[in-house]
Amino acid sequence: MLPILRPSLGVVASSVIGQRAGLTAVVGTRALAAASAAFRTRARARLSTALQSTTATSTITRSFLHDHPYPSSQQQLRAYGRHVTSPRLYSGTPTPPPRRPTPTARGPPPWGVQQHQQRRFASNDWWNRSFNERIDPYGVHRRYADPLFTNQDLKRAARHQNTKYFAVFCVAGTIIFYFINLETVPVSGRTRFNIYSRKRVVEAGDLSYRRLLYDLEQQGVGVLPDWDYRTQRVKRVMAKLIPFSGMRDEKWKIFVIDDPHTANAFVLPGGKVFVFSGILQLARTDSQLATVLGHEIAHNVADHVGERMSQNIGVNILLYSLVVLTSVFGLGVLIAQFAGAWALNTAISNPMSRKQESEADYIGLMMMAEACYDPREAVTFWKRMNRTTQEKVPEWMSTHPSHSNRIEKIQEWLPEALEKRERSDCRTTASFADLFRQALLNGVVEIRQY
């Protein structure tokens, strides 16, 4: 019997297990459906509550703006905190809070609240804006500001008729200002533009003097002491040139810089003399050194520093006007700036600088001749400069005349310089530089020495 009963027991067991599994599946499916229905019910309830809260906030905000046509900052913050960040949920149709008078509240506009509301709510898309714009329609709380000027605004302003009138007024005023400040340079008869007085030029020279001393100290370049033979030589030549410089009342200070690789010398306004030791190797005699120092002193006698400062103002005005015009028409600003600067320097600054150098050569030659130095040594010095230093750029691109042209001009002036040296007693007070400065102040071109 056992072999026959074993299959029947397996069938019974399998049928029982299958019934229980089916019952479990039915119960689980029903439980899952019930849980899903409960979740959907709760989600609908929460969504309905959120919509009611949003409707209440919008209604209260409308009532707040209606009661406060000109909301103050405190009222805006109070409304924002009460109606937006408050955890309370409104149900139904909420009633607006009573108006609380504040010390900063403003009164109604002069044309009435109703007319004001009609003007403010005339636009249909007003309520489609963000909350910050709705709570403050005047744009105080906007997060992103529009650009101050756009290309469209600049082009519209450039084409406006008032802009044309303003441009004509500026051009006319500039032309009048330019002709008022013109003056004539003695001897050469050149007309130049100069707006700086002697006092302002001396102040600018004092600033340059202090800046130069600071830069030399930072670079570790030393100044030779007074007992050094090179300093003694420069002071000896300057002592003979100063009485004929036309600037005897200046507070002269002489500095010899210990830099044998730099062949340079200059005189700042106010009597500050700087000589680099490298120039002393080229100016081997006192007459040749007087050629260099007389030339640098002559720049101050003719007030070339003030002329250059005035010239820079005009050049900068032209340059930045060109940059503005190119930006309006959409051209490259950087290209216009570099190209304009090169063109203005080539056409205006460099030719003016070469004329100033020629004037300084002439005044310095007459000065050293009256101080009893040999003016023929000036030709020797510039010939040595021509052999030593090679000119890297052509003359029309340089701020100085070429050495060959300089030598040619000095040879033309040599007869007059030699005549002044013969008539000079090396002690006179009526020097050529004094007469030049008087003629410059009086606007006289020809200098007569009696």
Of the candidates 250, 296, 395, 412, the residue annotated as catalytic is: 296
Residue (of 150, 381, 358) closest to 282 by Cα position? 381
With beta carbons less than 8 A apart as the criterion, state whether 116 and 109 touch.
yes
Active site residue 416: no
* Interatomic CA distance for residues 341 and 328, integer angstroms: 19
* Interatomic CA distance for residues 81 and 68, integer angstroms: 16
With beta carbons less than 8 A apart as the criterion, state whether 230 and 277 touch.
yes
Would you state the structure tokens that stand for residue 75, as one six-digit string? 């009222």
Q: What angle do CA 81, 85, 89 make, to 5 degrees?
A: 115
For 257-307, the DSSP string reads E--TT---EEEETTTEEEEEHHHHHH--SHHHHHHHHHHHHHHHHTTHHHH
Would residue 257 be called left, alpha or beta, if left means φ above 0 and alpha means ψ between -120 and 50 degrees? beta
Report which residue type is found at 27.
V
Active site residues: 296
